Chain A
């Protein structure tokens, strides 16, 4: 269970997250909102990349605020980035190995963890290809696979569907829906694509101007007049 309590993040005079509270129990939860609503700020506060003015982010009772970013990752917080971060001279396998290096996994576990994650997202054949030679969808899948190794507890996916074709989006749906049953991690999915959110998220939170304007069952949230107004503009 992820419990965000009274979380406030300020950038100078701008209040990016305003006393936000959110209790997440479902396995796959969506986070939507117009540009500048605070979605990425929330994931960054989760990761430890921005200074939190007040409030807490706890997972099963453990408050992550105050923990160094790399320690959060070792504890089991994984994330992907809006702009895919693939290193051109590391192979797909190396990307996953880096995560396992940090977590101190032993040799035999490493091999099976890497094989399992690559097989799950469907890029086993690209295992030894360097980042520079991957196509955009392979890059995206490498980043997701990176989140799956080393027993993740919470996975933050920041716009994983950006720039993908319809066929690739179908495959991405399969991957996201399969993560919890296969790896047991809770997923927080940030995306602009309402179709993707509708298909994979049990519940959805909507942010606007750093405040939570709706939260609950995805279908109901998407029917909400306030949400429609926020998305379509007033």
Chain B
């Protein structure tokens, strides 16, 4: 059993490395940018999915936390000479701390009430972003000046857009691995038990407050990292990107993609960023994607609780089972 799983992991790793190497070679420069954004948003979607799939909690502040990570990266970029990856981690950590603060109401609330509280927090951050904007190389703490933005340093080996896409995919793959390690270790078991019943979890010795806070911090960390990656990709961030309403859309798409598998987060990222760009390319209004997302959400809620990724994985395993039967 163990050997078969490690074999499967090996194949996954090989495929991931292949995609990381090949994808930038196959895409035109416009599509490299679009795919970079899509991959970055899959990382943020993973954070939403962890809270929903592992704990049954709804977090509607993710896009605001992406903004926090982006703000920290830009701030450090202009104020210090720190390497990109260090600033990126700092952005992740700050967003994790803010995410953990958002978890305080989660200790007592669930469902709709918690969702509303996180949405309010996202609204508050949206106002701050609008009021103070994102650093662009100006003076002072907020670092904003009436000038065109300065340069955001990229990692040494990822100066071009193509190489930066590879860097982004690598970071996202590492973060997915971290999430996977959580799911199949002590935090994953504790989360599952909390989801079933908090009393039961406490009776098993699980510190419910700690593990709920940890889940929010992890989710915030992933948002912060994706914000930093976004700042590196776009070279400048705009407050209009981080409206509270987009967090609802990201949550909905995480459900459509499937919250129970990393593939679902990738699908969510692609729907969020790639589909509107494709529609533009075809000459169709990108707003039409919202209609499609609405239909897809209904479809997911009614017939596919594990989302598109759940359907794909079920399809693959039933195909594999059929092949095994025909071989025997």
Interface-lining segment among B6-14, B198-206, B296-304, B309-317: B198-206
A140 at the interface (CB under 8 A from B): no
Residues in B neighbouring A48, C-beta threshold 8 A: 202
Residues in A neighbouring B186, C-beta threshold 8 A: 97-98, 101
A47 touches B203 (CB 8 A): yes
A152 to B205, CA, bound (A): 12
Residues in A neighbouring B195, C-beta threshold 8 A: 87
Residues in A neighbouring B201, C-beta threshold 8 A: 70
CB-CB contacts below 8 Å: A73-105 with B: 73-74, 78-79, 81, 85-87, 89-90, 94-95, 97-99, 101-103
B202 touches A73 (CB 8 A): yes
A78 touches B203 (CB 8 A): yes
A146 at the interface (CB under 8 A from B): yes
B-facing mask of A1-25, CB < 8 A → 1, else 0?
Answer: 0000000000000000000000000
A117 to B144, CA, bound (A): 63
B204 touches A81 (CB 8 A): no
Given the known A-B contacts A81-B199, A85-B200, are A70 and B192 also in contact in the complex, defined by CB atoms under 8 Å?
Answer: no
A81 to B196, CA, bound (A): 13
Interface size class, chain B: 10 to 19
Residues in A neighbouring B308, C-beta threshold 8 A: none
Residues in B neighbouring A103, C-beta threshold 8 A: 205
Given the known A-B contacts A87-B193, A89-B192, A90-B192, are A98 and B206 also in contact in the complex, defined by CB atoms under 8 Å?
Answer: yes
Picked from B190, B197, B203, the residue with its CB within 8 Å of the CB of A69 is B203
B153 at the interface (CB under 8 A from A): no
Interface size class, chain A: 20 to 34
Q: In the complex, which residue of chain B has the Cβ closest to the Cβ of A146?
A: B204
A103 to B207, CA, bound (A): 11
Given the known A-B contacts A70-B207, A73-B205, A74-B205, are A98 and B199 also in contact in the complex, defined by CB atoms under 8 Å?
Answer: no
Q: Which residues of B contact A (CB under 8 A)?
A: 186, 189-190, 192-193, 195-197, 199-208
Q: Which residues of A contact B (CB under 8 A)?
A: 47-49, 68-70, 73-74, 78-79, 81, 85-87, 89-90, 94-95, 97-99, 101-103, 146, 150
Q: Lowest 5 CB-CB distances: which A-B pairs, in order?
A: A102-B205, A73-B205, A85-B200, A69-B202, A101-B186
List 13 A–B pairs whose Cβ atoms lie within 8 Å, in order of A's numbering: A47-B199, A47-B203, A70-B202, A70-B207, A81-B199, A81-B200, A87-B192, A89-B192, A98-B193, A98-B206, A102-B190, A102-B205, A150-B205
